Structure 1
Amino acid sequence: MKKPRLDTSDPIELDGRTLEGGGQLLRNALCLSALTGIPIEIHHIRGARSSGGGLKAQHLACVNWLAYACSARVEGAKKGSTTLVFEPGKGAEAACIRPSPAFKKVTVDGEAIYECRLDIGTAGSTGLALQAILPFILFSDLPSAIPVRLSLTGGTNVSGSPSYEYITGVLLPTLHSIGFPQIEAKLKKRGWSQGGSSIGEFTLKIPPRSSSVLPAFQLRPPDSGEKPSKPVHLQATFIAPASCHDHLSKVLLPAIQYHFGESFSQDSGSLDIKCEGSLHEKRMYLILIATMPLKPPTASHPSSSSSRDTYKLGRDWLYERKIRSHERSATEMAEAVTNALASEVESGAYVDEHMRDQLVIFQALAQGTSSVYAGTDEDGELREPSLHARTAEWVTKQLLRVNFDATNECEGVGFGTSDEDNAGDQVPENAVAEERLEEKMEKLNVG
């Protein structure tokens, strides 16, 4: 097993200009620091951004939430800051050992839950903020087997970030397929970056897990040389002024049938097109999600024990160009999104480009070797990881000493404490915590 470096005296220094040079590095580093107790110091935060870099509201909300969650000492947590020191409190590498102050136990409608919330305060992306705090929640072993209800306020449909629809239609099903319980989502209000910024809100209800350890998972075909599968179902969601809904349906159907076959139709049940009014002339968003069939495993390529029957691929577009005609823009969106999804499907990928970088942290924390197949390009070569994926891999290597090979396999550190580790005679609560912490630190190769 690859083991992370954990030196609580000297923080690991990270250059925020590395690779993608944006928020990806910050979010992954903060989450891993809060989980493992490894102190970090980041310089030149978002230094590759033409906007000047530094902490924005979304990033600052993640810093403050995780700092509270692991009782961290923080320096530089202010808007525009380009340097940040984040030192989790003693025992914070035990996010899965002791209750975090971020979780408040309450009773709602007669049901006991742990409640927590993150408020960005602007239309900053909730989808990106979720990348920093959701793994922390999923790997936290709370003392009672009750759900967590996470509320987030900010932007739900924001440029350059996962939308609420992508979260519910692709991210959450993918997390379920790799071994996490099915997470329920409820949208209260949309928040947009287009047509004037607005703040929205949604909640996630996260069921308890029997163990904080995530077993290794395989998102890959039994034989990468096989012909890519075809979707078994397509789901389109179009959020735009009502005047162009009918037009979108008319232009989307032939685009879908051109790429995926004439069998796709709303009458056959293989295609669903949902239209929703955006209530603003400048707000147009389209997402197309393919439900793909998993191929049967073989003896040489067994499936993960947590595999389901299908997996999801998605592509979307929040329209940011000048709108001269809603119908013309709808046509442009239908063609571009369908083409992009067809490319994902034809590559044979088991994850789309945007999901690949979000799974890096889970591969690094899982127990055993996890593999994520990202498909092949037009020349039959494995598709190169995006800058976001490479950045996420770099961060996990710095903090956890894990490596990703050319086929996107990673031997994770096995973060967490299994139920078997906790078995034995009953001893005082403090002694249990100390013993579990000692065992966990040994697993993490504490020097």
Structure 2
Amino acid sequence: MLTIDGSTGEGGGQILRTSLALSLVTGTPVKLVRVRAGRAKPGLARQHLTAVQAAARVGCAEVSGAALGSTEITFRPGSIAPGVHTFAVGTAGSATLVLQTVLPALLSAQGDSELVLEGGTHNPMAPPFDFMERAYLPLLQRMGPVVTAELERYGFYPGGGGRVRVSITPAPLGKLTLLERGEVRSRRLVARVANLPVHVARREVEAAAKVLGWERAWLHTEVLEGVAGPGNVVTAEVVSEHVTEVFTSFGERGVRAEVVGERLGKEVKAYEAAGVPVGEYLADQLLLPMALAGGGSFRSVVPSSHTRTHAGLLEQLLGVKTRFEQEGEDAWRVEVGSG
């Protein structure tokens, strides 16, 4: 049994999710200690517990220590069980983070799967649905498997209540090389509000547009209906020849709408100026499938500490090394499976 220290690097939930995902893929039993030791409230929160339970169901696994607040668990995977699965976080915890945990195993399962995930679909500190659907899953499909996602209901923090449906047709993962962005084909920015005044969205759009200088036709607002509790998210999409990138900024209590929009505008502007295809969060997501494919490469903005922690964990669990090489002030080349 492999023992993994959950306090490594940032000491967050990513170590738990990646460890469970690779345990399922490789059939290796794991023991995780000091789970989320780097967080203000260590141990399993509701979304992490749901991820453990989801991995156990998909992998027919034996688990001990799966309880709220637990800082140590053991996980012994069995055979992968494709099919129809429903996983409910039960709070506004991120549904997409639960998807991250079980998706790698289902990509190589012996049959198709359909997942219904209930909880938060648009959460700070987690990949929003739009990012998964528009940026990440198309690249995963380019590697072989067919994965599609449908947003059935928005779920924001703290109300939750969102629902996502994901369909998976497995296939062997092929290597992906993504070194150039290509010509930018379209840009779009939309601010969405639920149970909040529409002027909040309008102010966010205006602030982001002021930073970006984008054309009026690319800017949109949307009022969401049927959402549990208030919610506010601003999303920018840059569609290029070889990649689509999605950027997100969330409204927060006590933070002016102009600050939310300006924050998003600056992130998008920095990405476009860097001239690379892959942004900070997409870089983090690509490491695991590339490692499972036996290698891959891409150019990105400056790798985050989160991405470097992820790379170190992949080397520990799979023996796959990742090399980060700076090519310019804001441009890096990332080689997965290097030497």
Would the TM-score normalized by the shorter structure come out above 0.5? Answer: yes
1:394 aligns to 2:326 (yes or no): no
What corresponds to 1:44 in structure 2? 34
Q: What per-residue deviation string (whole Å, max 9, x for no partner) do you get for residues 102-132 of structure 1?
A: x3xxxxxxxxxx3222111211111211211
Change (3 A) 1:390 1:265: same
> Equivalent pairs: percent with the same residue?
27
What corresponds to 2:281 in structure 1? 354
- CA drift of 1:250 comes to 4.1
Change (3 A) 1:292 1:67: same
What corresponds to 1:136 in structure 2? 105
- CA drift of 1:364 comes to 0.9
Provide the rounded CA distance (Å) in 1 between the counterparts of 2:306 and 2:62.
Answer: 28
Report which of the two structures shows the higher radius of gyration computed on alpha carbons: 1
Is the 8 Å Cα contact of residues 46 and 54 (structure 1) preserved in structure 2?
A: yes
How many equivalent residue pairs?
326
Q: Provide the aligned C-alpha RMSD in A.
A: 2.3
What corresponds to 1:345 in structure 2? 272
- CA drift of 1:277 comes to 3.3
What corresponds to 1:403 in structure 2? 321
Q: 3-state DSSP class of the match of 2:67? A: coil
Which residue of 185, 193, 201 maps to 1:232? 185
Q: Which amino acid aligns with 2:286?
A: L
What corresponds to 2:296 in structure 1? 370
- CA drift of 1:58 comes to 1.0
Change (3 A) 1:43 1:250: closer
1:332 aligns to 2:262 (yes or no): no
1:287 aligns to 2:235 (yes or no): yes
Provide the rounded CA distance (Å) in 2 between the counterparts of 1:174 and 1:392.
Answer: 19
Is the 8 Å Cα contact of residues 38 and 399 (structure 1) preserved in structure 2?
A: no
Which residue of 87, 93, 97 maps to 2:76? 87
What corresponds to 2:164 in structure 1? 202
1:31 aligns to 2:35 (yes or no): no
Higher strand share: 2
Q: Which residues in structure 2 correspond to 1:31-430 (within 5 Å)?
A: 31-51=21-41, 53-89=42-78, 92=79, 95=80, 100=81, 103=82, 114-142=83-111, 147-181=112-146, 183-194=147-158, 197-206=159-168, 208-209=169-170, 212-221=171-180, 231-240=184-193, 241-244=196-199, 245-257=201-213, 264-266=215-217, 271=218, 273-277=220-224, 282-293=230-241, 310-322=242-254, 329-367=256-294, 369-375=295-301, 383=302, 385-406=303-324, 407-411=333-337
Provide the rounded CA distance (Å) in 2 between the counterparts of 1:130 and 1:331.
Answer: 32
Is the 8 Å Cα contact of residues 208 and 263 (structure 2) preserved in structure 1?
A: no
Provide the rounded CA distance (Å) in 1 between the counterparts of 2:205 and 2:335.
Answer: 40
Q: 3-state DSSP class of the match of 2:172? A: coil
- CA drift of 1:249 comes to 4.3
Q: 3-state DSSP class of the match of 1:341? A: helix
For structure 2, the 5+ residue unaligned runs are: 325-332
For structure 1, the 5+ residue unaligned runs are: 1-10, 104-113, 222-227, 294-309, 324-328, 376-382, 413-447
Provide the rounded CA distance (Å) in 1 between the counterparts of 2:128 and 2:154.
Answer: 10
Provide the rounded CA distance (Å) in 2 between the counterparts of 1:200 and 1:247.
Answer: 26
Q: Which amino acid aligns with 1:217?
A: L
Provide the rounded CA distance (Å) in 2 between the counterparts of 1:158 and 1:358.
Answer: 16
Q: TM-score, normalised by structure 1?
A: 0.68
Change (3 A) 1:404 1:256: same
- CA drift of 1:345 comes to 1.8
Provide the rounded CA distance (Å) in 2 between the counterparts of 1:202 and 1:32.
Answer: 23
Provide the rounded CA distance (Å) in 2 between the counterparts of 1:64 and 1:249.
Answer: 39
Q: Which amino acid aligns with 1:86?
A: F
Q: TM-score, normalised by structure 2?
A: 0.88
Q: 3-state DSSP class of the match of 2:160? A: coil
Is the 8 Å Cα contact of residues 229 and 345 (structure 1) preserved in structure 2?
A: no
Q: What per-residue deviation string (whole Å, max 9, x for no partner) do you get for residues 237-289 of structure 1?
A: 211234314444444444332xx6xxx441xxxx2524233768952211111
- CA drift of 1:171 comes to 2.1
281-290 or 242-251: bigger deviation: 242-251
Q: 3-state DSSP class of the match of 1:205? A: strand
RCO comparison, higher one (Cα < 8 Å, 6+): 1
Provide the rounded CA distance (Å) in 2 between the counterparts of 1:19 and 1:247.
Answer: 38
Provide the rounded CA distance (Å) in 1 between the counterparts of 2:204 and 2:320.
Answer: 45
1:22 aligns to 2:22 (yes or no): no
Provide the rounded CA distance (Å) in 2 between the counterparts of 1:280 and 1:116.
Answer: 23
Is the 8 Å Cα contact of residues 357 and 388 (structure 1) preserved in structure 2?
A: yes
What corresponds to 1:306 in structure 2? none
